[in-house]
Structure 1
Amino acid sequence: MEKLTALLNKQKAFKKPSTQERIRLLQNLKAVIKQHEEDILQALAHDLHKSAQEAYTTEIGMVYEEINHTMKHLHKWAKPTRVKTPLTHIGSKSMIIKEPYGSVLIMAPWNYPFQLAISPLVGAISAGNAVTLKPSELTPRVSQVIRTIVERAFKIDQAAVIEGGVDVSTALLKLPFDYIFFTGSVAVGKIVMEAAAKHLIPVTLELGGKSPCIVMPDADIKLAAKRITFGKFTNAGQTCIAPDYLLVHESVKEDLLREMMTCIHDFYGERPETQPHFGKIVSTRHFDRLSHFLTNGTIVTGGQRNEHELKIAPTILDHITWEDPVMQEEIFGPILPVMTFDSLDEVTEMVKARPKPLALYLFTTNKKTETYILDNLSFGGGCINDTLMHVATPYLPFGGVGESGMGRYHGKESFFTFTHEKSILRQTNRFDFSFRYPNAKNGLDIIRTFLK
């Protein structure tokens, strides 16, 4: 605890870097990442059995895009902003100055252990903060690589990595950081928020939930099947924005499931659970939890398990009800329950009856249907006729709503998430309005003239 406190004190004393210095730090970070690309890929293959293509696309490439976008726009984001001044303040000038919160704690998850650690780090550094980064202990090889990269790219008072388990996370949450950024489960998010409240620390919580995927009868079924299969089973389903359950119109269910079975075979082969580059479940505990879901409903395809490698084949479950255990919590694995509907009203009633999801996916070619869903359902973000891809652009803010999280980041939003906007009014000394003072004659009448 003494070492953690000493590190925090050192980071709190860190002098705010100039915008140009922050860009230099980001350039250096990118260069060090490039030098360790192979190490990152090998670590992701070891910890999660990610293929090189999936790992580069979803982890390294997204980080490069975030760094490049931030460096390109940082001067514009960071400069003071002039704003209008009302008539009541004539003679004065108003501006907003962007300043860092100071010391930031970033707590990263295990499912995308590199990208979800480094992306918020980019935002925090771009805003001028000092960062303590806590990677997940469930992906130890990736954690070691992250530590090496951060130690090479930054001085310890600029950014430092603290490794360890729950005891380390608990100790960090007792310290008075200026901001906490957490990505993980709803249950742990509540613990983080409770700890932050004791010091009145502002937080961003990137959580999860049961994200629905809705398929209308007018959808392009073949293309929908391809994109749903991709979105659900990437990273063995261990994605916070993966389609958690499928709501498909009764009239096209059989066609959709048949096409998805074909896609699963095309993407992952005859026995995915034996393929070296099909993702593994992160731990035995998670594997056992997911295995229990396989008894729910009827298995349409999949269900095979490889206990030695902690792998579960991409699985589709039919004849599911809301009372089944698989519908009581976020699945976070390669299991997709299927439910049907007859009308849009039925869809909105089902989704509204549950906590607001992190993501929602709608497959339709009808603009009225699209408008109806977007107007009537609240969720963090999503796609029309696709899955996952809204998270891969720095121009769209990413974050949840309600139980799926609070706050947002990516691109410009990452900078402002870690930035305090300080309001400044610069008053003139050339004249003074005496009517605002308590002893002013007819002061109230004059004030009423302005404020009515």
Structure 2
Amino acid sequence: MGEVVGDFEGDLKELRDTFNSGKTREASWRRSQLHGIISLLKERESDIFKALKQDLGKHHVEAYRDEIGTVAKSANYALGNLNKWMGSKRVKVPLAAFPSRGKLVPEPLGVVLIISSWNFPFGLSLEPIIGAIAAGNAVLLKPSEIAPTCSSVLAETIYYYLDNSAIKVVEGGSSVGEKLLRLKFDKILYTGGPRVGQIVMAAAAKNLTPVTLELGGKCPAVVDCMSSSWDQKIAIKRIIWGKFGACAGQVCIGIDYILTQKKFAPTLVEFLKKHIKKSFGDNPMGSNNIAKIVNKKHFSRLKDLLNEPNVKNSIVYGGSLNEENLFIEPTILLDPPLDATIMTEEIFGPLLPIITLEAIEDSIQFIRSRPKPLAIYGFTNNEKLQKRMMCETSSGSITFNDAIIQYAIDTMPFGGVGGSGFGRYHGKYSFEDFSHQKAVLVRGYLIDFGFRYPPWNDKKLQLLKSGLRYNYLTLVLIKLGLKSKA
């Protein structure tokens, strides 16, 4: 089972001994663990549903969509591609190295530490584990203590469904995390906020441990004025889902705020109001279709965002708060102060500011003037604007005419840039993130050139200069007198 306190050196030693035994490198072991994850998700589905309802208030359909279904898909994708990923890859070798052949051989890094987040406690734990075990590593997982029921279920189910000598779970709060970070791992993947990300990176630096950080940020949605009523309707539905429909906006790649033209803002607000009511009803808290805020600390943080000077006056829809049930109504704000906290820090909740601009093209400079986000969303059919957004902004990803869905695509990497994190995973990219691509070169003894070796003289210098001009095959012909230097 998961451990709450204690010295984890014994656990780390067992994981390292298992890795050093070579067991985790075997394709059969990797496949058995991937099948174990699939069985876990299928057989313990009801336990996962209950845990997500207890900790986050997630409806079981939302829970399956965002955590069980996507993880099962990823595990099956890894199973279907494992042989290809594990295989070596031939690389071209220049004739200057003739006769030789080269290849890249993926090898596991060793024992990896995964520190996951609370907003998708199963998805953000099991998704990187899939990549780590597919690559042949041993794994130590620390789930977030902020979702305690989910953490407990993860510890129990991983113990029973996966190889406990190679995959372990430790539970606990920040003190446990601090103890783990004092130990030497071969890779650390952390999902969470930038403050803790800095702590993780500083600890990893002491052991020169490579790190993947998924930190989020303020992800903007640029909403253009679309001519087609059908396009407008679909866009609004996707915007609402991208903000409120996944964990009540407590999502690192969720829409943080909207940028739109001033002339289109009144229409946009009315569209949003209409479809929020359609999705969540007149009583969103009683609809059971939107998650709760994870705890009182985060509830108070969101409440403080709304209570800042001149922010409350910008509310044009919603704004109701129920502290007893940790529920905040989907809320729209129009042009809150740009220096308010709601516009300078990641919101991570069901509050949606709309910032108006004279021209939609001004959104590019607005985005560029702020830290690089994990994702940018553009709701527009204007190909020129799409191209400018791609070329003139920087983000972990950019998606046009939808939101969040890029996370579920196994053939595309997921990761940030700059302050939103670095490193990438999902699908093959997860395998690569937890692997080292070892360069292997094999040379023959058929040909050798003495000018490589001392003692040095001017003739060897001329031959070395010629070697930079010609490939080795040409030099052989020159040496044999079959080709002129001219």
The whole-number CA distance in structure 1 between the counterparts of 2:50 and 2:233 is 34
1:273/1:305 contact within 8 Å kept: no
* Structure 1 residues without counterparts, runs of 5 or longer: none
Contact 1:222 1:256 in 2 (8 A): no
> Given the alignment of the two structures, is residue 107 of structure 1 paired with residue 107 of structure 2, yes or no?
no
Question: Residue 7 of structure 1 corresponds to which residue in structure 2?
Answer: 11
* TM alignment of 1:26-425, pairs within 5 A: 26-218=34-226, 220-233=231-244, 234-295=246-307, 296=311, 297-425=313-441
How far did 1:150 drift?
1.1
C-alpha separation in 1, matches of 2:301 and 2:316: 20
The alpha carbon displacement at 1:375 in A equals: 0.7
| 1:344 shift after superposition | 4.3
Question: For residues 174 and 110 of structure 1, what CA distance do their matches in structure 2 show?
Answer: 22
1:152-202 deviation line (CA, Å, top 9, x unaligned): 122222100000000000100110001000000011111110110111100
Superposed CA RMSD in Å reads 1.4
Between the aligned partners of 2:26 and 2:341, the Cα distance in structure 1 is: 52
Counterpart residue identity of residue 444, structure 1: L
| Residue aligned with 2:171, SS | coil
Match of 1:19 among 27, 47, 51: 27
Q: CA deviation at 1:118?
A: 0.3
- Contact 2:261–2:360 (8 Å) recurs in 1: no
Counterpart in 1 of 2:468?
451
Does structure 2 conserve the Cα–Cα contact (< 8 Å) formed by 1:109 and 1:183? yes
| Counterpart AA for 2:299 | F
TM-score (norm 1): 0.97
CA contact (8 A) 1:211 1:241 kept: yes
Measured after TM superposition, the shift of residue 277 of structure 1 is 4.2
Q: What letter corresponds to residue 280 of structure 1 in structure 2? A: K
Cα distance, 1:32 vs structure 2: 2.3
Q: Distance in 2 between matches of 1:78 and 1:190?
A: 33
By how many angstroms is 1:204 displaced? 0.2
Asked whether the 8 Å contact 1:215–1:364 carries over to 2, the reply is: yes
Identity %: 41
SS in 2 for 1:451: helix
Aligned equivalents of 2:80 and 2:28: distance in 1?
Answer: 11
Larger radius of gyration: 2
Q: What is the one-letter code of the residue matched to 1:76?
A: K
> TM-score of the superposition, structure 2-length normalised?
0.91
